[in-house]
Amino acid sequence: MIENKETPSDQAGSLYRRATRFIAEVRVELSRVTWPTRREVWATTIVVILTSMLFGIYLWVIDLGLSHAMDQVFKWLGTA
């Protein structure tokens, strides 16, 4: 069995070093990111909104059709 021989103060120092290293690595990674331009953000936002609207309308029409079909089935069975 492996025992941790670090004292609580050593562990706190290690935690601090790891946190500092993590923040430094995050900064390096963020500097490598290719950020979209304002125009690209607007364009993709509009595409997402329009696509969502089209799918919403499509699903609404399908729902209306299925509801009408189920009403017809229930009338045929005499349960409505």
pLDDT along the chain (80 residues), means of 10: 60 84 95 94 98 98 97 87
**Containing domain of residue 78, as a range?**
37-80
Q: What pLDDT shows up at residue 71?
A: 94
Q: Under a CB-based contact definition with an 8 Å cutoff, are residues 50 and 42 in contact? A: no
Task: Count the Cβ atoms, other than its own, within 10 Å of residue 5.
Answer: 6
Q: What pLDDT shows up at residue 65?
A: 97
Q: What pLDDT shows up at residue 38?
A: 96
Q: 72 with 46, same domain? A: yes
Determine the length of the chain: 80
Q: 29 with 49, same domain? A: no
Q: 64 with 29, same domain? A: no
Q: How many structural domains compose the chain?
A: 2
**pTM of the predicted protein model:** 0.56
Q: 28 with 42, same domain? A: no
Q: 48 with 75, same domain? A: yes
**CB-facing half-sphere around the CA of 49: CA atoms within 13 A:** 6
